[in-house]
Chains A and B, each alone.
Chain A
Amino acid sequence: MTAEWQRRRAFWQILLIAAGLLVLTVISAGSVYLVNKARDDSKWVVHTIEAENQINALLLEIRRAESATRGYLLTQGADFKADHDKAVAAIIPALDRLTRLTGDNPAQRESIEKLSAAIETRLGQFAREVDFVQQGQLDKATALVREAASADTTAEIGKVAAVMIQEEERLFRLRTVNSDRSQTLAASMTGIGSGLVVLLALISTWLVRRSAGARDEAEARLRDANVNLEAVVDERTADLREANNEIQRFAYIVSHDLRSPLVNIMGFTSELEELGGDIFRRIGGLTHVPADGPPPSTGEIALEGPDKQLSADFSEALGFIKSSIAKMDRLISAILNLTREGRREFQPEKIDTSELIEAIVSTLAHQAAEAQAEIHIAPLPDLVSDRLALEQIFSNLIDNAVKYLKPGTPGEIRIRGRTKLGYAIFEISDNGRGIDPKDHQRIFDLFRRAGTQDKPGQGIGLAHVRALVRRLGGTMSVSSELNTGSTFTITLPITWNTSNRNADQ
């Protein structure tokens, strides 16, 4: 699973959500629009029906007026007259309403004008007829009725009204269809939109589930990797410990077994020395035997000439052998001690560092006085660590500082300490002879020393100190210039525990 793939997946998910939102918005807007349109269409349908009704109502009123007029003409009954008046009074408002209702349609407006003219004519005729009847001129009224019938105004009205109704019916059909279409559209829009949303939701869910699956898998792999890593680290640590132990054992065995032949060499060298002494004594005795007298009994007999030379050479050779053996023994002992130290278990305890260093300084007081050195101890942080190891570290360093002062200059040795991030940092600085920077690495190597070799030593101290500092989980370094003094810096964990280092012991 690559990052590219993940990016693409995220992109698709965002796209899906965006698409879903877009569809929802479009559906909402479309629905609102379509519902409005459907309502509009329905309104128009209702409007058409109203207009049609109005036309019919108008026609009805005209017929009513006509029949009332006729009734009045025939009977001269006042109730017919009242009926006629009522009908005529209703005609004009009805016509006005119709005009208002159909005002939006130019074709209907034209028809209305025609209708208005016809109705006006017809109403005029009605009024005259009623007047004639009232004046008692029935003949004239009858003639007027005939004339009106021949003019056929009523038929004209009916024809115009029929056209108008037809027009309204056309409109009604048209508008019904429109309205139906709007409603269908609205319904389909909602349906399709809902379907789309559901589909998008499904795809989204699927994608989310897939990505969740991928994530779970990745998590599982990560867990596995972690477990693996721990196992690998454990394995390596075990290997290193094993290797370290092996080296320790090896060093121990080697140094131990090297000592055995050394005992023989030294022992028989001493035997040889004694033998040599015996031999030369005998030679001396033989050469000094007076020809007649008894040989000298005891005591040193001085050798002479070549014999003396032989004896001196013999002693010299043995002396070299013995001093070399002694040196070799010291080296072997040093290795033995180091390996023993490396195998010793640390016992962490609370340590008052100042007290510990003061104790060390007091044991070195004599040497310090001889070297005219002053040792200043600044306040030091306390530690939880191994007491013996700390004692060895500090006594080695302070001892070195006292040992390698500049002759003729009063020594000044300072011990300072501070803490930083769980570590205590100690500095032991002097104004001694200093160490050439090219030797800074070398001085920490076993059996290596730097500078003028005018002091006794094996070249073990600093190697030992560094090994101890490392075992305590710390680091050490030196900064120094020739003739300006040296500063050794030790960084140790404030609290040492077995997990810091070599829990293997």
Chain B
Amino acid sequence: MTQPVSIIMIEDDEGHARLIERNIRRSGVNNEIISFANGTDAVKHLFGADGSGLVQKGNALLILLDLNLPDMTGIDILKQIKENKYLKASPVVVLTTTDDSQEIKRCYELGCNVYITKPVNYENFANAIRQLGLFFSVIQVPPATP
């Protein structure tokens, strides 16, 4: 069976969230997008009240993650996701304003699948998001461990 992939967007900047959403839609991806403006809510949604991640068992997720959150760093969330047995298979796309090579390296080390720098040059940004949309549309998100 094919389960629709839900996109979890963890992004504290409303403008960025809106821009990302628009561009995803513009590229023709119509999957459900669930937005969170802070880390705590996102973690609660992802891992459930007990923090085990059991709530997401069997759900196909794609996570868009901003690294600069008001209440925690995206790096921590990334680490938790990749350490959780129900969530570790979900692809994580890190979206951030920095192009600091050390930070990029660290994210890839922690298991992030794609790292996108939010460029000020909107054309590039829009392009990247659109490509991401194409990526979404073709990607076969592996079913989470049953």
Contacts and interface: CB of A to CB of B under 8 A. Distances in A.
Do these two chains really belong together in a complex? yes
A259 to B, nearest CB: 4
Contacts of B98: 256, 259, 336
Interface string B113-137: 0000011111101100000000000
B109 interface: no
A319 B16 CA distance: 21
A77 interface: no
B140 to A, nearest CB: 30
B120 A263 contact: yes
A267 B23 CA distance: 10
Contacts of A263: 13, 15-16, 19, 97, 118-120, 125
A267 B97 contact: no
B15 A262 contact: no
Contact of B121 (A261, A271, A326): A326
Given A256-B97, A256-B98, A262 B120 contact: yes
B100 A270 contact: no
A251 B68 CA distance: 16
B22 interface: yes
Given A267-B19, A267-B125, A271-B22, A260 B120 contact: no
B22 A264 contact: no
A260 B97 CA distance: 6
A231 to B, nearest CB: 35
Interface in B1-58: 13, 15-16, 19, 22
A267 B122 CA distance: 5
Contacts of A329: 120-121
Interface size class of A (residues with CB under 8 A): 10 to 19
A307 B97 CA distance: 38
B120 A259 contact: yes
Contacts of A270: 122-123, 126
A63 to B, nearest CB: 141
A120 to B, nearest CB: 143
A264 B125 CA distance: 11
Contacts of A256: 68, 97-98
A32 B98 CA distance: 103
A419 interface: no
A340 B118 CA distance: 19
Contacts of B100: 340
A325 interface: yes
A262 B121 CA distance: 10
A193 to B, nearest CB: 89
Interface of A: 256-257, 259-264, 266-271, 325-326, 329, 336, 340
Given A256-B97, A259-B118, A325-B120, 12 more contacts: A259-B120, A261-B15, A263-B13, A263-B19, A263-B119, A266-B121, A266-B125, A267-B122, A270-B122, A326-B120, A326-B121, A329-B120
Closest 5 CB pairs of A and B: A264-B15, A270-B122, A329-B120, A267-B19, A259-B97
15 contacts: A259-B97, A260-B16, A261-B13, A263-B16, A263-B118, A263-B125, A264-B13, A264-B16, A266-B121, A267-B19, A270-B122, A270-B123, A329-B120, A329-B121, A336-B98
